[in-house]
Structure 1
Amino acid sequence: MSEIIVQNLLSPVVLFFVLGILAALFKSDLTFPKGLSEGLSIYLLIAIGIKGGIELSNYPLDAVIGPIFGVLFLGITIPFISLIITRFMKMDLKNSISLAATYGSTSIVSYGAAVSILEANGTNYEGFMNAMVVLIESPAILVSLLLFNILQRMQEEPALAKQSVGIVPSITKMIDLEVIRETIFGKSIVLLLGSLIIGLAVGDNGLPMIEPLFIDLYDSVLILFILYMGLIVGQRLPEVKQHGIKLLLYGLLTPLLFGSLGVLTGDFVGLSTGGATLMGVLAGGASYIAAPAALKTSVPDANPSIYLGLALGVTFPFNLVIGIPVYYEIAKWIQ
């Protein structure tokens, strides 16, 4: 396992993230044009969605319907739990939403490490779990942005928010067709869900056209995006200090909470020990690709040092060292 941990921590994605942080801390003149950073976000959202749709097209609906509902449950529930925790921590709305989206989504690299560990242990898992990686991203981002639009409107129109007591009744009053329209047809969700549907529709027949740009070049474009996010994190790193130990504990403890929920959900929908472990990894991971790309366009004022710094600097190595083995042991114990 130590070899896998070292391999992932020394991956180009992590190293370029560190390079971006160091460049910012040492006041380098390295910058990214605004149009380029926006283009990288658009590319990643399309690539993630379309690859997940193609993967999902290879399985009959009756084989994946249970796990799909399980993933939807996690993608909807975890952002709510995360929002409650961060608001209890007195975090502002934009950064609370950014953590809800980041931790409601998942880490593709952590998932890949978990697959390697299962294969090394000779533990089988359901092949369609690879498609679940993308499916958990969409509902988490959608729910987080919907909550953001609702709660932001509550702040802008406090008189309406005071018409009922408690967050749930207030949210219910504030939901209207315009809020739903703004969320669903925001560019992040349009690109992610639209690409997923297109990938599902074209299936493997679309690979000759899609593969050269959205699959072959994916890792290289991801490195550019992570380097850019590293620069942003380095520039805003001092802002993290105001949240102190609470933020660190969030990045360490919530993966165990969400990951355990994921394992239980996987067992409930009938997955094997390996499949339930992977469901736990999906729930316990924090996204540093899809969610940051969506937040970059939909909640630009959220601090990347918080959501991306925690996802890559705390939760990612924690899951590699502790999280994945814990989820695996829980899955074995349950089954």
Structure 2
Amino acid sequence: MHTLLDPAILFFVFGVLAGALRSNLDIPEPIKKFLSLYLLMALGLKGGFALAQSGMNPGVAAGLAAAVFMAFLVPAIGYLLLRRVASRFDAAAVAASYGSVSAVTFVTATQYLDNTGTAFGGHMTAAMVLMESPAIIMAVLLANAARQAVSAPAVVATNGGAAVMTAGAGAPGTPIGRILHESFTDGAQLLLIGAMVIGYFSGEAGKAVMQPFAGDLFKGMLAFFLLDMGLMVARNFDLARRASRWLLVYATVAPVVHASIALALAAALGMGAGDATLLMVLSASASYIVVPAVLRTAIPEANPALYFGLSLGVTFPLNLLIGIPVYAAAAAWALG
């Protein structure tokens, strides 16, 4: 109940209601872009300041390694399950979206932990950055394998009916190097990394100078952004509703499974409750900004309505309204 009464979450709910009522309430596109860039910049600075204060140690390294491990594991599990109910290309795209992360969900989770007085490390922002690319690598590898399967040898009859094998034309694979370059140089990703590096090197002095920008304004800007996200969720319900019931089940159940695996991993590594909560949130969330933009180029055969509609229309609101407090409670119960 505490998270539902948070003003930022209430603005998200209000946005969903306004969108469902087909209101003409809308946030102008330039303001949407500014809010997104502001949140990424402020989040990167916060993570850099916290990382400068804590420094690099075995616990931090273990947390980052756990995040990268989950970024490879989640799309692998997702693809193995989804290829039974969807095409290989759609399965690879959806699995990549769920293997990656939602920065907005992560930001909301950090605010929830701040509100409840739960400590967490700034290195978890770095963990979020590291979890973007492995899912994209997995998607490209799986899509290239699917194209190879489509272009498998075909049998033709020649020389009086003798069977001869010839290779099919097929579609060429997508170069991983080009996709990785697009991923790391994407504006949002680059801003987040750059802000975190600046925050790390400027340290306490930089934190004091940037407090009015990255601290005082943050909550209000987040509420404004979540209002827009609520409007987007309401307007993308139809995309999610057109998916098969098995994909809808995946979008609802898989995040809980991924969060449970992350909690077990966090317990094995001796992570604190705050860091474990954020690892669970990262593992349970799905990308609807960076990865879908890359997937349009990397896997043009996939249906964007599936991977965008499921992540934004189903998983995002579930995590925001229910998942974050549940993950935090589970981490507190398991890790004290």
TM-score, reference length from structure 1: 0.73
Conserved 8 A contact 1:70-1:265? yes
Structure 2 counterpart of 1:59: 54
- Any idea what SS the aligned residue of 1:61 has? coil
d(CA) in 2 for partners of 1:89, 1:104: 28
Structure 1 counterpart of 2:277: 278
Match status 1:228 vs 2:228: yes
Identity %: 20
Shift of 1:294: 3.7
d(CA) in 2 for partners of 1:20, 1:306: 18
d(CA) in 2 for partners of 1:257, 1:131: 25
Q: Find the partner of 2:13 among 18, 42, 45.
A: 18
- Any idea what SS the aligned residue of 2:23 has? coil
Give the alignment of 1:127-146 within 5 angstroms.
127=119, 129-146=120-137
d(CA) in 2 for partners of 1:104, 1:265: 21
Figure out how many residues of one structure are paired with residues of the other and give that number: 305
Shift of 1:255: 3.3
Which protein is richer in helix relative to its size? 1
Could you say which structure has the larger radius of gyration? 2
Conserved 8 A contact 1:237-1:305? yes
Match status 1:90 vs 2:86: yes
Tell me: CA distance 1:327–1:238, structure 2 relative to 1, closer, same or farther (3 Å): same
Conserved 8 A contact 2:48-2:198? yes
Conserved 8 A contact 2:76-2:95? no
Q: Find the partner of 1:69 among 41, 65, 68.
A: 65
Shift of 1:324: 4.1
Tell me: CA distance 1:295–1:180, structure 2 relative to 1, closer, same or farther (3 Å): closer
Give the alignment of 1:1-335 within 5 angstroms.
6-63=1-58, 64-90=60-86, 92=90, 95-102=94-101, 107-110=106-109, 113=112, 127=119, 129-147=120-138, 158=147, 162=151, 174-243=174-243, 245-271=245-271, 274=273, 277-278=276-277, 281-283=280-282, 285-286=284-285, 291-292=287-288, 294=290, 305-319=309-323, 322-331=326-335
Shift of 1:83: 4.7
Amino acid at match of 2:122: A
Runs of 5+ consecutive residues of structure 2 not aligned to the other structure: 154-172, 297-303
Runs of 5+ consecutive residues of structure 1 not aligned to the other structure: 1-5, 120-124, 165-172
Conserved 8 A contact 1:53-1:195? yes
Tell me: CA distance 1:261–1:10, structure 2 relative to 1, closer, same or farther (3 Å): same
Tell me: CA distance 1:154–1:46, structure 2 relative to 1, closer, same or farther (3 Å): farther
Tell me: CA distance 1:200–1:104, structure 2 relative to 1, closer, same or farther (3 Å): closer
- Any idea what SS the aligned residue of 2:25 has? coil
Shift of 1:80: 3.9
Amino acid at match of 2:45: I
C-alpha RMSD of the superposition: 3.7
Conserved 8 A contact 2:14-2:230? yes
